[in-house]
Amino acid sequence: MKNKSILNIVLIVDTEQLKGLTPPIADMNQYCSFLGQESDTDIADYTTVVELNKTNGASVNIDTLIWNGLSSSNADHTILFTDIRITEGSQIFINGSSQNRKKVKDRKSNFAAGKYTVEFQIDDGTNIYPGQNSFFTIDPILVYHKK
């Protein structure tokens, strides 16, 4: 029996520092990191692995990825994900998924590492940064792996 599972990906953002800047930002490492990211890993090299594995004899298929954002500098700030898309490699997201919640296609084989783009804004309760039609961008790596 296959059980469906969710993988939460948490982006931590120094919103106080970043909201005063205008994209594109050459080095987002100064302002962002993923929960669990090693301090010596560039954010562009941070890799999320989506696995089909065995747990207590049952298959667990990660079928949904959810990105959440947290401010490291102001708990009242909200990270708004405006787009998450595959930019290099196989398209593993199902069309029609929401902006921070992506359904993953059921894959029969391994998928090589590919880049994906995350666009986001900062809402400080009064204003949206960097602006209504502008976004901060990072491009980490996503791998689908069958164990």
Q: What pLDDT does residue 140 have?
A: 95
Helix (H) / strand (E) containing 15: helix 15-18
Give Cα 25 to chain centroid, integer Å: 17
Longest CA span, the chain: 51
Identify the sign of the CA torsion 91, 97, 103, 108: negative
Mean per-residue pLDDT, 101-109: 74
Tokens of 37: 């990211």
Per-residue confidence (pLDDT) for residue 1, from 0 to 100 = 44
Instruction: Examine the pLDDT at 2 and tell me if it is beyond 90.
Output: no
DSSP string of 82-94, one letter each residue? EEEEE-SS---BP
Write the CA distances from 91 to 104, 137, 144, integer angstroms: 9, 19, 11
Query: From start to end of the chain, where are the E strands?
Result: 2-13, 32-34, 47-55, 58-71, 78-86, 101-103, 111-123, 128-129, 136-138, 141-146
Predicted local distance difference test score (pLDDT) of residue 33: 97
pLDDT at 3: 60
Q: What is the pLDDT of residue 94?
A: 78
Q: What is the pTM of this model?
A: 0.87
Q: What is the arithmetic mean of pLDDT over 115-140?
A: 94
- Could you tell me the domains of the chain? 2-146 (2.60.40)
Q: What tens digit of pLDDT does each residue of 33-78 get?
A: 999 999 999 999 999 988 755 455 555 566 789 999 999 999 999 9
